[in-house]
Amino acid sequence: KPGEVGEGLKKPTSMAATSNPTITLNNGHKMPAIGYGTWQAKPGEVGEAVYQALKTGVRSIDCAKIYRNQEEVGRAFTRFFKEGNVKREEVFITSKLWNTEWADPVQALKTTLKELELDYLDLYLVHTAQCWEPLDGELGPDPKKANFQEFLESGKTSVKDMWQGMEKGVDQGLTRAIGVSNFPVLMIKDLLTYARIKPAIQQNEIHPYFQQKGNTEWCLKHGIQITCYSSLALASPALKEGHEKLPEDPKVVELAKKYNRSAAQVLLRWAVDKGYSIIPKSLKPERIAENFNLDFTISADDIKQLDALERGFRTVPQDFFGHIPYYE
């Protein structure tokens, strides 16, 4: 039944046993652990990249309304599925409800399905913990406008009302599972007091420099699986500040040499070995293949060494939502 705890985390000890390990969601559906993300993928490039990822063997694609590229991604889906080699049900597809869409998640979901040229999603996430008032179809105002801060605090839809709309999306067969992203634990805890269908996933920024251990451990304890974004800690907002790049950290470089892999592969495998799912993005076919081919495991001791790199360094600061202290 929707929202019931499934058989738990499927964490293989060797990639040799399966080309892409899976995690089992709390509704029993399986999600590939190694996926492909479409954030910061520009129109004119993202469609071909998604198509190449699918041809490479990737079977989980992460999308979102706010990425402003879903129509092109949808054309890539149609192109790939029309070839007839892989069925729609063999690919796990995720999208997200944006902040301005809280008042009517069902309609937002239908719009997303039309853009992606799909009949259903496998997973629909609430993109952030903030509600903004709708803007006649716009996703948000210009941050430079004088009333921007006022707009950011304008939302009138409660988390409960929004979540009940998300549940209707499951009831109507528009999505198989629902979940959250960038949510503080206290908001999820409150949500669970009335949720008829539990969140299946919490999608968060997670990498060795920013592990969110408290949030992650609490979610897993309550049957909510974890998807990591910005796994390489290379998201643009923080790099402008001159921070050391995680793939260039001496310990990461050392382990890359030890395993004869790239630094990116070591960081991605770290997450998979911890039982998380990942959604790395690249526009280069060779890098897409590299990110997918994680046919090795990292020893427990080396996992601990990567864990020790924690710095509390969030590369996608949440204060761009208007300095509302959700995460302090």
Q: Read off the tokens for 195.
A: 């949720």
Return d(Cα 119, Cα 108) in angstroms, integer: 14
Q: Exposure of 259 by Cβ count < 10 A (0-12 exposed, 13-18 middle, 19+ buried)?
A: middle
Cβ–Cβ under 8 Å, residues 277 and 23: yes
End-to-end CA distance of the chain: 36
Q: What is the largest CA-CA distance in the chain?
A: 56
- Give 125's strand partners: 96, 179
Of 67, 124, 229, 276, catalytic: 67
Cα angle 11, 85, 87; round to 5: 60
With residues binned 3-state (H G I as helix, E B as strand, rest as coil), the percentages for the chain, rounded to 5, are 40, 15, 45
Query: DSSP letter string over 188-256?
Result: HHHHHTT-SS---EEEEE-BTTB--HHHHHHHHHTT-EEEEESTTS--HHHHTTTPPPGGG-HHHHHHH
Respond yes or no: is residue 67 known to be catalytic.
yes
Q: Read off the tokens for 247.
A: 């793939």
Cβ–Cβ under 8 Å, residues 169 and 178: yes
Q: Give the single-character DSSP code of 298.
A: -
Catalytic residues: 67
